[in-house]
Structure 1
Amino acid sequence: MSAHRQTGRRLGLAASISLAVASFALAAATPALAAPKCTSNASFLIVEVPHGEDVGNTYLVRDNTASPKPVCSTKKLKTDLVIGSRDDAFYLLKLVGNYFLIDAGTGPDRDLLIYDLASKKEVFSGGYSDDDIKIDSAKAVFWTGSAEKPTKKNCKDLASIQKNGLTPVIEQLVTFDFTSGTLTKSNSLRCSAEQ
């Protein structure tokens, strides 16, 4: 075999190896599409649709009792109940029976939304303390803003909260009962600071 043909074969082999290495590197650098994130119970399937570059998610709610069973797919169906839009910073907290709890917001002050998926209605919306909410199969217990005005008497840190440029609020401990779908206010109050 001539030296010219051998050189050509070596160059061809080197090019093939380089192409294979480049293809492997490209495949390794390209992230695989993530599987949809779904939450379900006997009645509902909830598909989380991330907003990509924007914060938060939109949720597609499907009837999990339907036949055939709904699939965990981010492709919107005509029968889907859509909760949230591209402008909503929504994050799933919990699905309990017919109730879907969402944490909303982008800053330290958070909002809680509770949807009754059976009636397709929002049944609670308000600020809450995300640090100490307790959710079980029967209820959600959390602190939320009350109509009571902060004073020196009910808010011992009133002056320091205001000095730091924050807003004092009086929070009340409440319970949302999943069986009755009702919110019960307790007599427990506390003073907190909001931005």
Structure 2
Amino acid sequence: MPRPIAFASLAAAFLLTPLAAMAGEVECHANKEYAVAVQSDDEDAGAQFAVTALRGKKKPASCRFDADKADLVIGEPGDPLWYGDQSGKYLILTRSTGPQGDLVVYDLSTGKAVLDVPADEYEVSGNTLAFWERTGEATAENCPGFAENQANGMGSAVVERKQLDLKSLKIDKTGEERCDATQ
């Protein structure tokens, strides 16, 4: 199922966020490899992520954010990162304070971002992360809805569907393109 990362406003982002993740609260997620405690920022948009490798153990019984005990902490105050999903050793995040955002994928085994692109929706299926990346400005020639978007006070962007193979980290273009309205 596609997961939009564009938010109409910061308020809408909070409305779409589970109540447990509101202002300083902790929300926990885990798969077989990693437990991720997500603590929302009290003062800024976004969250920090305390990541613990499970190394064959079960996920923790209680949900706590403990940066000192975590193997890795992702996110800084003021960086509007939001939890998206987990797939194996990859943590899928979104970065946004407005309608358009970015898709950010971290390799939790290295602590490094392996993808950071302007993208407004994604879906994970098996070892594939499919996403729609904004690749360029739209014009009346390459965007059928360009005039309507302009009339509504919106911009337009060309977006292209791509797929990240989560085993090889190779990105393939699918050949699908469309034109999206932007703010």
Q: What's the TM-score, normalizing by structure 2? A: 0.75
Residues in 2 aligned to 1:146 and 1:37: alpha-carbon distance in whole angstroms: 33
* Higher RCO structure, 1 or 2 (CA under 8 Å, sep 6+): 2
Aligned position for 1:165: 153
Structure 1 SS opposite 2:153: coil
Residues in 1 aligned to 2:97 and 2:25: alpha-carbon distance in whole angstroms: 25
Gaps (5+ residues) in structure 2?
Answer: 1-23
Q: 1:35: Cα distance to partner?
A: 7.8
| Aligned Cα root-mean-square deviation (Å) | 2.5
Aligned position for 2:35: 45
Residues in 2 aligned to 1:96 and 1:74: alpha-carbon distance in whole angstroms: 20
Q: 1:189: Cα distance to partner?
A: 0.9
Residues in 2 aligned to 1:68 and 1:93: alpha-carbon distance in whole angstroms: 22
Aligned position for 1:10: none
Q: 1:89: Cα distance to partner?
A: 1.8
Structure 1 residues 86, 66: closer, same or farther in 2, change over 3 A? farther
Per residue, is there more strand in 1 or in 2?
Answer: 2
Q: What's the TM-score, normalizing by structure 1? A: 0.71
Structure 1 SS opposite 2:150: helix
Structure 1 residues 72, 160: closer, same or farther in 2, change over 3 A? same
Q: In the TM superposition, what are the counterparts of 1:77-156 in structure 2 within 5 Å?
A: 77=68, 80-130=71-121, 133-147=122-136, 149-156=137-144
Residues in 2 aligned to 1:154 and 1:136: alpha-carbon distance in whole angstroms: 30
Aligned position for 2:6: none
The letter of the residue matching 1:185 is K
Bigger radius of gyration: 1
**Displacement over 3 Å in runs of 4+:** 66-72
Residues in 2 aligned to 1:66 and 1:107: alpha-carbon distance in whole angstroms: 39
User: CA offsets, 1:92-123, max 9 Å, x none?
Assistant: 11110111100221212121111111222111
Aligned residues: 159
Q: In the TM superposition, what are the counterparts of 1:44-83 in structure 2 within 5 Å?
A: 44-65=34-55, 72-77=63-68, 80-83=71-74
- Identity of aligned pairs, percent? 28
The letter of the residue matching 2:140 is K
Residues in 2 aligned to 1:145 and 1:61: alpha-carbon distance in whole angstroms: 29
Aligned position for 2:20: none
